[in-house]
Amino acid sequence: MKRTAVVTAGTAGIGLETALGLAAAGLAVTVVGRDRVRGAHAVERIDATAPAHPARFLAADLASLDEVRALAARLGEDGPPAVLVNNVGAMFPRRQDSVDGIEASFAVNHLSPYLLTELLVPALRAGAPSRIVNVTSAAVGVARRTFEAVEPPGGYYGFHWYGRAKLANLAYTLELARRLDGSGVSVFAADPGGAATDMTRGTMDDPRIVSPGLRLLWPLVRRRFERSTSGPASLAARSSVHAATAPSLTGRTGIVIGAGVEPVPPSRVAADPRVAEAVRRLSERLAPVGTV
């Protein structure tokens, strides 16, 4: 029986390497992205490895909640997926809004995977055993921890706001694991560590992406970050592939897989039920699930 996997932002970088790993594991892979040309190249690269099943591409701008809903509906037509990897992520040096008028970092890094996942949960339940993998980041450690509103107080600093959106998504991931425990749907977070990708190239050179308190130390921090992101995307994808396919994780849930492809302790803040509740309320208000 054919088992399917969906990888968002799967046309390049860590997402494409994740898709290649899942295809090598025997899954029929759908990669999602905005650019049809890159999507076609991704499919060609996956199919060149002679996988058990041909890959396919679906176009969607995951910064748009309407397009996320349309994508979920399209995926729902194909029957239950076995694996959903929410790999989408973006860091913005300057504040901008999504097409829905929501601050873009929060929209792309949390609301998009949150909404897609919630819309696909019924199908994932129906196709159990299945797995959800949400890609997280060490940037959660510099995040503001308030979620009463989409934007925290104070000025906009892209690195911190990226971390806050990833923190929201990690808190959601851990809460979702608790909610789906016993359903046959396992939920994991995967920390890729770092790799040289389109997101990291150039972005980290802009000192305005960090708060003034960190700015004096930024040259040192940036050098350390660049060393950690100099490896190939194939290494950074290992945590996601492991979370999606490893037999040792069968029947387990709510685990963060670190860059070393081993379980690591989750952020204490992300594991706080009060944070999860605040994230849930904000997410439901900004991206109501409704029906597919």
**pLDDT value for 143:** 82
Q: Please say whether the beta carbons of 137 and 203 come within 8 A.
A: no
* H-helix segments, the chain: 13-24, 36-47, 65-76, 104-106, 112-126, 158-180, 212-215, 218-228, 233-236, 238-245, 273-286
Catalytic residue among 114, 157, 162, 172: 162
Laid out side by side, the sheet with 263-264 consists of: 56-59, 28-33, 4-8, 83-86, 130-135, 185-190, 255-257, 263-264
**Six-digit token string for 212:** 């003034």
DSSP count for the chain of H helices, then E strands: 11, 8
Dihedral angle at the C-alpha atoms of 204, 232, 116, 118, nearest 10 degrees? -100
Helix (H, G, I), strand (E, B) or coil at 57: strand
**What pLDDT is stored for residue 229 in this prediction?**
47
In contact, 194 and 238? CB cutoff 8 Å: no
pLDDT the model gives residue 159: 86
184 half-sphere exposure, CB direction, 13 A CA radius? 13
Q: pLDDT 10s digit of each residue in the chain, 292 long?
A: 789 999 999 999 999 999 999 999 999 999 999 999 999 999 999 999 999 999 999 999 999 999 999 999 999 998 899 999 999 999 998 999 999 999 999 999 999 999 999 999 999 999 999 999 999 998 898 788 899 999 988 888 888 899 999 999 999 999 999 999 999 999 999 999 865 545 544 555 565 666 655 555 555 555 555 554 446 788 999 999 999 999 999 999 999 999 999 999 999 999 999 999 999 999 999 999 975 4
The structure's pTM equals 0.91
Query: What is the predicted pLDDT for the residue at 221?
Result: 55
Q: Tell me, yes or no, if 157 is annotated catalytic.
A: no
Residue 130: strand, helix, or coil: strand
Cβ contact 287:220 at 8 Å = no
**What pLDDT was estimated at residue 195?**
57
Residue that is written with structure tokens 């991206």 in the block: 287
Task: List beta partners, residue 257.
Answer: 190, 263
Other residues' Cβ atoms within 10 Å of the Cβ of residue 224: 10
Residue 292: what pLDDT?
A: 47
- Give me the pLDDT at residue 242, please: 98
